[in-house]
């Protein structure tokens, strides 16, 4: 698995959650996770979560840390497991950075003191499976019950935080692959 932090600000609209977006724009083929910072504005036309469409809940954040992951040769169910792993790694890192924070994970969402920090979705494309995972950097303009990395977690180095998440995630995914390869089958 490859990782990349994109230094250029990118407005996430949902269009980036498409097959080969990372390859076409950043020349990285195969399984990859990319992170970038930018405004998040997903209207209902680009919404993948049908529940959000039914509830008429577009996504907006003035400034968000976004992750896009693309994997080949995995099922959508496996991608949802990977999505939950990514969220859990983030939770553990936040707790390590600021042990006084009360952070809860509910499925693929993180909450600080009951206020939503993240958005996330896993989906299937014609050639791959994809994840979008976003963490509010600033809660201004987001839902009234939002929390953020800048004020609630007090993270100043967002890029360093993103790189740490991706490094730990990549290590965990690679370790899972090795664990699956080292065992003898039983009859």
Q: What is the pLDDT of residue 47?
A: 80
Average pLDDT, the chain: 94
- Domain with 53 in it: 2-181
Mean of the pLDDT values across residues 16-31? 97
In a domain, 186, yes or no: no
In a domain, 187, yes or no: no
Q: What is the CATH number of the domain that holds 55?
A: 3.30.930.10
In a domain, 37, yes or no: yes
In a domain, 68, yes or no: yes
Total tally of structural domains belonging to the chain: 1
For the beta sheet containing 115-116, the strands, ordered from the edge strand earlier in sequence to the opposite edge, are 103-106, 109-112, 115-116
**Buried b / exposed e across 97-114, counting CB within 10 Å, b at 16+?**
eeeeeebebeebebbbee
Mean of the pLDDT values across residues 57-86? 95
Mean of the pLDDT values across residues 40-55? 82
pTM, full prediction: 0.94
Q: What is the pLDDT of residue 41?
A: 93
Mean of the pLDDT values across residues 149-165? 97
Please write the tens of the pLDDT for every residue from 88-122.
999 999 999 999 999 999 999 999 999 999 999 99
Given a cut of 90, whether residue 4 has pLDDT beyond it is yes
46 confidence band (pLDDT: 50, 70, 90)? confident
Mean of the pLDDT values across residues 153-178? 97
Q: Could you give phi then psi for residue 172, rounded to 5 degrees?
A: -65, -45
């Amino acid at each position: 698995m490859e990782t990349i932090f994109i230094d250029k600000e990118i407005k996430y609209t949902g269009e980036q959650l498409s097959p080969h977006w990372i390859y076409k724009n950043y020349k990285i083929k195969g399984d990859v996770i990319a992170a970038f910072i930018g405004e998040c504005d997903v209207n209902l036309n680009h919404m993948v979560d049908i529940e959000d469409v039914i509830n008429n809940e577009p996504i907006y954040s003035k400034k968000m840390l976004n992750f896009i992951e693309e994997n080949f040769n995995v099922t959508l169910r496996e991608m949802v497991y990977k999505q939950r792993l990514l969220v859990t790694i983030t939770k553990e890192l936040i707790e390590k950075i600021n042990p006084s924070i009360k952070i809860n994970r509910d499925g693929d969402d993180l909450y600080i003191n009951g206020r939503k920090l993240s958005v996330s979705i896993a989906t299937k494309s014609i050639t791959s499976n994809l994840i979008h995972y976003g963490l509010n950097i600033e809660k201004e303009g987001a839902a009234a019950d939002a929390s953020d990395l800048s004020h609630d977690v007090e993270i100043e180095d967002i890029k360093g935080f993103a790189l740490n998440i991706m490094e730990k995630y990549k290590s965990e995914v690679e370790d899972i692959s090795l664990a699956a390869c080292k065992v003898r089958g039983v009859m």
